[in-house]
């Protein structure tokens, strides 16, 4: 991966990359991951999780968990998303992930344009998941964890076809939502769900 950010500027720092998955869906939690990579164990093929196939993401997730110095995955539930709003819930999930790391970083590099409030320093990097390997790794762990959570929900609620759309507002999901009604895992503050509750 091209480290296009001059990471030598961060020499002496213990850097963790942070990213989230699941801001847009109508269902399920929002997940965040934090990863501190081990420079002695570089992982080939890291990039924005959205640009990788599911099989490649799953394989890389195993490698990241094996070789990273530290990693953690955290979430905010549908209820928390409805109470806080998706932006605040995402920030909270990110903070939880960083705080759950077994190694304390000195700096968190966050994908996007804003940072959660944390005890450590942080820096937001737009499109960071394709610029910084640690953020790419976090993006992969967050995405695979969220997909796994949705597959588990699918086993309980097969009528919603969550295994196919992962909770995103696709035509299929909206059709099943109208057909079967709002389920406990739906985000009730999101417009298509809210409309059905009226």
Percentage of residues in the chain having pLDDT higher than 70: 95
* Phi then psi dihedrals of residue 114, to 5 deg: -150, 160
| Band of pLDDT at residue 34, cut at 50, 70 and 90 | very high
* pLDDT confidence of residue 5: 56
* pLDDT confidence of residue 3: 44
| Band of pLDDT at residue 7, cut at 50, 70 and 90 | low
Pairwise pLDDT comparison (39 vs 65), residue with the higher score: 65
Q: Which tens digits make up the pLDDT trace of 144-173?
A: 999 999 999 999 999 999 999 999 999 999
Cβ distance 144 to 136 under 8 Å? no
Enumerate domains of the chain plus CATH numbers.
7-156 (3.30.420.10)
Cβ distance 162 to 152 under 8 Å? no
Closest CA to 15 of 88, 108, 127, 124: 108
* pLDDT confidence of residue 9: 63
Does 13 belong to an annotated binding site? no
Average pLDDT over residues 66-94: 98
Cα distance between residue 57 and residue 47, in whole Å: 10
Does 152 belong to an annotated binding site? no
Tell me, what DSSP letter sits at residue 128?
G
The count of other CB atoms within 10 Å of the CB of residue 178 is 11
Mean pLDDT of the chain: 94
User: Residue 17 above 50 pLDDT?
Assistant: yes
| Band of pLDDT at residue 29, cut at 50, 70 and 90 | very high
Average pLDDT over residues 79-96: 98
Does 111 belong to an annotated binding site? yes
């Amino acid at each position: 991966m091209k480290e296009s950010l001059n990471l030598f500027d961060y020499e002496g720092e213990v850097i963790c990359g942070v990213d989230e998955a699941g801001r847009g869906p109508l269902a399920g939690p929002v997940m965040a991951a934090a990863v501190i990579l081990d420079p002695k164990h570089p992982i080939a093929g890291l990039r924005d999780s959205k640009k990788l196939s599911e099989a490649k993401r799953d394989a890389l997730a195993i490698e990241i968990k094996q070789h990273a110095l530290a990693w953690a995955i955290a979430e905010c539930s549908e209820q928390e998303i409805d109470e806080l709003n998706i932006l605040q819930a995402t920030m909270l999930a990110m903070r939880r992930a960083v705080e759950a790391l077994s190694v304390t970083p000195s700096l968190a590099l966050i994908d996007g344009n804003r940072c959660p409030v944390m005890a450590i320093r942080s820096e937001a990097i737009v499109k960071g998941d394709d610029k910084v390997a640690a953020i790419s790794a976090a993006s992969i762990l967050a995405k695979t964890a969220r997909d796994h959570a949705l597959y588990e929900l699918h086993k309980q609620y097969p009528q919603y076809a969550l295994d196919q759309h992962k909770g995103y507002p696709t035509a299929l999901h909206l059709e099943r939502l109208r057909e079967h009604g709002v389920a406990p895992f739906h985000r009730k503050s999101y417009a298509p769900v809210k409309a059905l509750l009226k």
